[in-house]
Amino acid sequence: MKITANDKLKRSLIKKYWRETRKVLIKVRQPVMEMADNTGIESLKAMILHLLQVQPMTTHLVKLWEDVGGRYGSDTERKIRRGRIKSKLEEEELLEDWKRKMRIYSSERSLIKAGAILTTEQEAINKIIDLVIKESLDEGLGIIESRRLLKKYLQGRELAQIENWQAQRIAMTEVGQAQNTASYQAALGHEGVKKTWMFIPGLKTFRQNHKEFEAMGPQDMSFEYVPGLKHPGDENGAAEEVINCYCSIIYSID
């Protein structure tokens, strides 16, 4: 028997969390917007990382993992235990159990992940500030005019485009990681299960080595495709193997 991931659901979840991540990024930088009205541009630049709010992002990541991981973990276990889960109540209990597991798992990691995301957001805002400083000097703008220009750019297309790309990357990476981590953990505790890498090119990525992983065929659950990478999106794997990875995994049971 083969167990494959619901790719249609995955695409839907990526779109959902892409939208939600954009909204969270706006919340994250709201204090910066408020300070831009009455703070010098250079002073504001030095304060960016301290102003960005980490809590909305950590909460968002935990919610994502609870939702996505809960669905895929329970679905994988239900399929492996076919015939032994006979009622709707048992299915609901299994789903809640996996949501709880993923909530605990992600809570331990969300703060570190959110910190990295905030650093990227800081870099994006600093690019906008540097642009405003240059234009202010070139045009001889005063303090009030420079602040107005900064707020215009912070609310404008430039930062929105950067955040849209960032939200897409976060959604694709985190949904993929939650999906594959949960399904892998669900399959890991059962005998006679083998895994096969399923190569799916991402929207912005094509990793030739991931295509080669698929060609390897079924492998033992403990097999590492490269050091630290036991499945797509493995958090122990290198960033270049994980970020924007859309690949999935298939399980075969004797």
Query: pTM for the complete prediction?
Result: 0.91
Is residue 254 scored above 80 in pLDDT?
no
pLDDT digits (tens, 9 = 90+) for 39-54: 888 888 889 989 999 9
pLDDT of 220 > 70? The answer is: yes
Q: What is the pLDDT of residue 203?
A: 63
Transcribe the chain into DSSP letters: -EE---HHHHHHHHHHHHHHHHHHHHHHTHHHHHHTTTS-HHHHHHHHHHHS-SHHHHHHHHHHHHHHHHHHHHHHHHHHTTTS--SHHHHHHHHHHHHHHHHHHHHTTHHHHHHHHHHHHHHHHHHHHHHHHHHHHHHT--HHHHHHHHHHHHTSHHHHHHHHHHHHHHHHHHHHHHHHHHHHHHHHTSTTEEEEEE----SS---HHHHHHHHT--EETT--SBTTBSSTT-TTS-HHHHTT---EEEEEE-
Instruction: Give pLDDT, residue 159.
Output: 87
d(Cα 4, Cα 252) in Å, to the nearest integer? 9
pLDDT band at 204 (very low <50, low <70, confident <90, very high): low
Are 203 and 173 in contact, with CB atoms under 8 Å apart? Answer: no
Q: Which stretch of 57-71, 75-89, 116-130 has the lowest confidence by average pLDDT?
A: 75-89
| Mean pLDDT confidence for 61-76 | 97
pLDDT, residue 252, reads 93
Greatest mean pLDDT among 77-91, 152-166, 211-225 lies in: 211-225
User: How distant, in Å, are the alpha carbons of 29, 48, 89, 169 from that of 128?
Assistant: 13, 12, 52, 20
Q: What are phi and psi of 94, to 5 degrees?
A: -65, -45
Is 4 within 8 Å of 198 (Cβ atoms)?
A: yes
Q: What is the mean pLDDT of residues 27-34?
A: 92
Q: Residue 46 is encoded by which pair of tokens?
A: 């030095």
Angle (CA) 79-189-219 rounded to 5° is: 85
Q: What is the pLDDT of residue 83?
A: 67
Highest mean pLDDT pick, 76-80, 82-86, 150-154, 220-224: 220-224
Q: pLDDT tens digits for 136-158?
A: 888 888 888 888 888 888 888 88
pLDDT at 199: 93
pLDDT recorded at residue 30 = 92
Radius of gyration for the chain, computed over Cα atoms and rounded to the nearest angstrom: 22
Note the pLDDT of residue 82. Answer: 81
- Segment 87-111 mean pLDDT: 94
2 DSSP β-pair partners: 252
